[in-house]
Amino acid sequence: EVLMTQSPATLSVSPGERVTLSCRASQSVTRNLAWYQQKPGQAPRLLIYDASTRATGIPARFSGSGSGTEFTLSISSLQSEDFAIYYCQQYNNWPPYTFGQGTKLEIK
Amino acid sequence: EVQLLESGGGLVQPGGSLRLSCAASGFTFSSYAIQWVRQVPGKGLEWVTGSSGIGGATYYPDSVKGRFTISRDNSKNVVYLQMNSLRAEDTALYYCVRNRGPWGHDAFDFWGLGTMVTVS
């Protein structure tokens, strides 16, 4: 089973700032990595798939990069609606699909 | 518009059974893999089981293998999750989720709102 580790667990940032979230896999997942955003009381929403491809309707301020075991999600110029929990997920070595434990983005 | 609507959650005693349903609409159902993902309130995401769109192959993690069964009716656009021998640790919000493609080797592009299962 591939273990996904996200860092940091919580990130306090101000609106308008740029932020980078990290995700590390315990073994290579090539580029089969997705990022999801979850707001309170809502289901997760796909942001990025294949490590760097934005899903339909996702603003350009969201970008993903990485391959192998190291991945990042960047959000340029944070908007108020971006404060949420972000999860990474690998779909390279499945079953099982595995998720990171999440990074909570909170307002500073 | 793609929609996934879960139902069937509720309160059940340990050792009991429950069947969840996921009604899909807005896409060619048989062409997509469907998964169930659960989330304990306030906690992270855990994949529960899945079914490929073509051939209907099924997959389970060790945590539910032998207790949970996924099935799909492509004529009705519905996926079922039969859960037996339920344990307290199965308590969670269960999401029905669509893969981007038919085989499961892809991200999850649409999620239902979830149905809550409480084992107590």
pLDDT in tens, B40-49: 999 999 999 9
Q: B108–A32: do the CB atoms touch at under 8 Å?
A: no
Q: B47–A34: do the CB atoms touch at under 8 Å?
A: no
pLDDT in tens, A76-101: 999 999 999 999 999 999 999 999 99
pLDDT for the residue numbered A24? 98
To probe the interface with A, which of B108, B110, B113 has the most A CB atoms within 10 Å? B108
Whether the Cβ atoms of residue B52 and residue B71 lie closer than 8 Å to each other: no
pLDDT for the residue numbered B107? 97
Q: B109–A96: do the CB atoms touch at under 8 Å?
A: no
Per-position pLDDT tens, chain B of length 120: 999 999 999 999 999 999 999 999 999 999 999 999 999 999 999 999 999 987 889 999 999 999 999 999 999 999 999 999 999 999 999 999 999 988 888 999 999 999 999 999
Decide: helix, strand or coil at residue B90.
Answer: helix
pLDDT for the residue numbered B50? 95
Per the DSSP assignment, residues forming a β-bridge with B49 are B36
Residues of B engaging A, defined by a Cβ cutoff of 8 Å: 35, 44-47, 50, 59-61, 95, 100, 104-114
Using CB atoms, which residue from B44, B106, B112 is nearest to A101? B44
Cα distances (Å, whole numbers) of residue B98 to A71, A83, A89, B8: 23, 25, 14, 19
Whether the Cβ atoms of residue B15 and residue B85 lie closer than 8 Å to each other: yes
